[in-house]
Amino acid sequence: MKAAPDANCRAMFDRVSAYLDGELPAAECREIERHCKGCDRCAEFIESLRHAVGLCREAGQKPLPADVRDRAKARIRELVGFVSALPVESIPDAPRRRRARPSASPSRRATPRRRRAGAKK
């Protein structure tokens, strides 16, 4: 039976993403690696996460088959056309059209008003 994670495990979990992305200083990487040598739970966690990250990177490099890409593009065009044909008010949580603010009228003063004599500041 594996021991429950301790404070060192929790500290390591907080840094594991930066560790796998190579964003930690060498001293911190060595500390995590040293911890994993003595903690099977953390070593397995890091390896499984490293594997998952590798699969995601690998999948992102493979192009979609042409038929899948064409079907996806057609469906997107269909959805965009459908949504654009709807009145804005019928789309839930859609930003409402705002009325344009009238520009400042020429009668407004461009300079601040002078204080009247005896007026409080």
Closest CA to 12 of 31, 37, 38, 40: 31
What is the identity of the amino acid at 29? C
Band of the pLDDT at 1, cuts 50, 70, 90? Answer: very low
Domain segments of the chain as ranges: 1-85
What is the structure's pLDDT at 43?
93
pLDDT-derived band at 92, boundaries 50, 70, 90: low
Place of tokens 């603010």: 101
- Return the half-sphere exposure (C-beta side, CA atoms, 13 A cut-off) of residue 19: 22
What are the tens digits of pLDDT across the range 105-114? Answer: 455 545 555 5
3-state helix, strand, coil in the chain (%, to 5): 60, 0, 40
In tens, the pLDDT along 67-78 reads 998 999 888 888
Q: Find out whether 14 and 41 touch, Cβ atoms under 8 Å.
A: no
Taking the model in full, what pTM does it have?
A: 0.48
